[in-house]
Amino acid sequence: MALLDDGLRDWPSTTMGVVGSSLGGFYATAVAEQHACRAVLLNPAVDPARDLSRHIGETTAWHSDERFFFRAEFIDELRAISPARLTQPARYFAVIAKGDEVLSWEEMTERYRGCRITLLDGGDHALSDFDVHLPAIIAFLGLDR
């Protein structure tokens, strides 16, 4: 998060937007709250400190056999950057799949209540049909102008 803050320090937050999926959705929410910008969240993690606390120790990346050590202090860092609430729900657009096999769609929709939400009846955690949602994402971020 410190790297993001450093990189965004001089960025024009009034015209920027962030997009994040899963844990990246959590980070996008934290960035949006800190920089008052728009955020698009794709099956966003709601409470990664809680969810990842059971993975402390040596583990592998989900997408490869690369090994790394997930340290307990990472949990504290996640808690420290977790926004208590969303200050301006209109800045958020969440695409949430009921078929997400990793995260709870009910928890996601509750966290982003009052925000723009596209709730998919099926789908998956990876949002395999991402291309279908891209026009709405581009429009929300104002990139279609």
Tell me the CATH number for domain 2-46+86-140. Answer: 3.40.50.1820
For the chain, what are the domain ranges?
2-46+86-140, 48-81
Q: What is the pLDDT of residues 16-44, one digit of tens each?
A: 999 999 999 999 999 999 999 999 999 99
pTM of this structure: 0.92
Distances (CA, A) of 115 to 5, 18, 127: 24, 15, 19
135 SS3 class: helix
Identify the pLDDT of residue 104.
97
Closest CA to 82 of 92, 90, 74: 74
Q: What is the pLDDT of residues 47-59, one digit of tens each?
A: 999 999 988 999 8
Which has the higher per-residue pLDDT, 4 or 117?
Answer: 117
